[in-house]
Amino acid sequence: MKVLRCESIQLVAESDIVASRHKCRTWATEAGFRLVDQTKIVTAASELARNTVQYGGGGKLLIELLDDANRSGIRLTFSDQGPGIPDIERAMQDGYTTGTGLGLGLSGSRRLMNEFAIRSEVGRGTTVVVTRWRDR
């Protein structure tokens, strides 16, 4: 698997959530994803970017265009140096939130993408990596 291109953007302010949606839309469109898949990718990005800004105290998003044998993909990595998530299993459940949201960010974006990985350490931060593939 090769990384064809990548770009990193800051996720600090609320306006960065909107910016990340636009960036992901552009990348998903250029990667040839159909409209429904673009919408899923952008929606997942919006949820995860909001988590980074609201719960992670800010961080960044790395967008990568992947090339793998007979498919191409888009990989999004959200990372922060925030407080971390003490109980990931619980955080992954629908409806669980420590804030005022609906608790669909992590569980919902896992459903919207093909691959989902989360790594978190209390006091050190959280990294969420999601990928969506497209057959060529």
Given the rule CB under 8 A, which residues bind other proteins? 14-15, 17-18, 21-22, 25, 35-36, 38-40, 42-43, 46-47, 50, 94, 101-102, 104-105, 107-109, 111-112
Q: How far is the CB of 121 from other proteins (least distance, A)?
A: 26
Q: How far is the CB of 32 from other proteins (least distance, A)?
A: 16
* Nearer of residues 67 and 103 to other proteins, judged by Cβ: 103
- 86 and 79 Cβ atoms separated by less than 8 Å: no
Q: How far is the CB of 69 from other proteins (least distance, A)?
A: 27
Q: How far is the CB of 129 from other proteins (least distance, A)?
A: 19
* Nearer of residues 67 and 134 to other proteins, judged by Cβ: 134
How is residue 42 written in tokens? 């952008």
Torsion of the alpha carbons at 115, 96, 83 and 48, rounded to the nearest 10: 40
In whole angstroms, how far apart are CA 66 and each of 37, 49, 73, 88? 16, 20, 5, 27
* Nearer of residues 47 and 64 to other proteins, judged by Cβ: 47
